[in-house]
Amino acid sequence: MKQFSLLVLALIGISITTFACDICGFGVANYNPFLFPHLSRSYVGFSYQHRLYQTYDDDGTIGKEKYNTFLITGQYGVTKKLQLVALLPYQFNKLYNEKETKNVSGLGDGTLLANYTIWAKSIGKIRQTVMAGVGVKLPTGQYKAAATKALDDQNFQRGTGSIDYLLNGSYRIGYRKWIVSTAASYKYNTTNKDNYRYGDMLTTGATLIYRKDWDGVSVAPYVQVMNEHQMQDADNHVLQDHSGGHVLYTGGGVDMNTRKVAFGVNYQWSPAQNLAEGQINVMPRLSAHISFVL
C-alpha cells in the first residue's frame, strides 16, 4: 500500500512520562496512543499528550497531577523489514493540593528501538504482518532522590534514573477496509543510583480500524482496548506497598493520511483500575500527533 499503513506500536509499553510510576503515565506507552505511518518509511513526528491523575496520600491529602508532554519521534527505515526508532519527550507538569503546588518541566527519558518485520503475507484481500522489537530507555530525564516516602515525592519525576530494556511483538491482519492489530510488550526496569527500582511493566492491547480511501487521502477511525500491569517498586530491595497495579484503558480516535503527512487525535478513559492500592486514580487522557515522511 502506497499510503500510510496503520500499526498500533502504541502498545509496546515505552515509558516517556515524567510520572516515574510508568503505569501511571503513558502506556504507548504506550508506547503511545497514536498510530504510526508506514512500517518501512523514514519519518519524523510530533505529538502532544495530556494526562491527569488524582492522588490520595496516607495523611488524607487529595491532590491532582497534570502532565503535558511534547514528543519528537523519528524513524529510519534501514530496510523494508528493519526500522530504527528514537523518541524524546519534553514535559510541562504540575502537582497541586491544599499543601503545595509544584511545577516541573524539561526533558524526559528518551527511548531507542529496533523493530523487525518477521513475517508479512497477502492472500487475496487478506493481509497479515508479524513484528518484533527490542529497545532501551535511557535516563535522560532528571531523577531526584525522594525526600520522603510520600507517593508524590517518589512519582513526580521527569525520569526514572535507570536504564530500562524493552521487548515487544505485534500481529496485524487486514481484510478489505478493516484492520485488527494486537500487541504486547514487556519493560524490564533496573535499579537507579538511589537504589530504587520501579516495577516492570506488561502491556497488552488490541485495536480495530476501519480505513476509507479516496484519491491520495485515507481516513481511519478506530477503537481500542489496552491493559497495563506494573509490578511493585522496590526501595533497597524492599517492595513498596503503595506501588504497582493495573489499568484497563478503552477509547479510540481518528487518523487522516496522505502520501506524505499523517495526523490524528486519540482519547482514552479507564473503566477499571487499581493503582498503588487505590492511591492513584487515572482520569481520561488525550493526545494529538502529526508525522511527515522524509
Cell 525522594 found at: 146
Strands (E), the chain: 43-56, 62-77, 82-96, 101-107, 111-123, 126-137, 164-175, 178-188, 196-197, 201-210, 212-213, 218-230, 234-235, 238-239, 245-257, 261-275, 280-282, 285-293
Cell 536504564 found at: 163
Q: How confident is the model at residue 16 (pLDDT cuts 50, 70, 90)?
A: very low
9 three-class SS: helix
Beta strands 245-257 and 285-293 are unpaired
C-alpha pair distances (Å), 88 with each of 140, 177, 252 = 9, 33, 24
Convert the pLDDT of each residue in 188-202 to its tens digit: 999 999 899 999 999
Structural domain boundaries in the chain = 9-293
Q: What would the mean pLDDT of 15-29 be, rounded to a whole number? A: 39
Convert the pLDDT of each residue in 237-277 to its tens digit: 898 888 889 999 999 999 888 888 888 899 999 999 998 88
The pLDDT assigned to 57 comes to 78
pLDDT at residue 127 tops 60:
yes
The pLDDT assigned to 266 comes to 92
Beta strands 82-96 and 111-123 are antiparallel
What does pTM read for this prediction? 0.84
The pLDDT assigned to 36 comes to 42
Q: What would the mean pLDDT of 43-52 be, rounded to a whole number? A: 90
The pLDDT assigned to 292 comes to 87
The pLDDT assigned to 149 comes to 61
Is the CB of residue 75 less than 8 Å from the CB of residue 93? no
pLDDT at residue 4 tops 60:
no
Residue 115: CB atoms within 10 Å: 23
Cell 491532590 found at: 63
Convert the pLDDT of each residue in 134-159 to its tens digit: 999 999 988 887 766 666 666 777 88
pLDDT at residue 278 tops 50:
yes
More reliable by pLDDT, 153 or 49? 49
The lowest-confidence range among 37-41, 157-161, 278-282 is 37-41
More reliable by pLDDT, 36 or 100? 100
Cell 496503520 found at: 6
Q: Hey, what CATH topology would domain 9-293 get?
A: Lipocalin (2.40.128)
- Burial of 46 from C-beta contacts in 10 A (0-12 / 13-18 / 19+): middle
The pLDDT assigned to 235 comes to 87
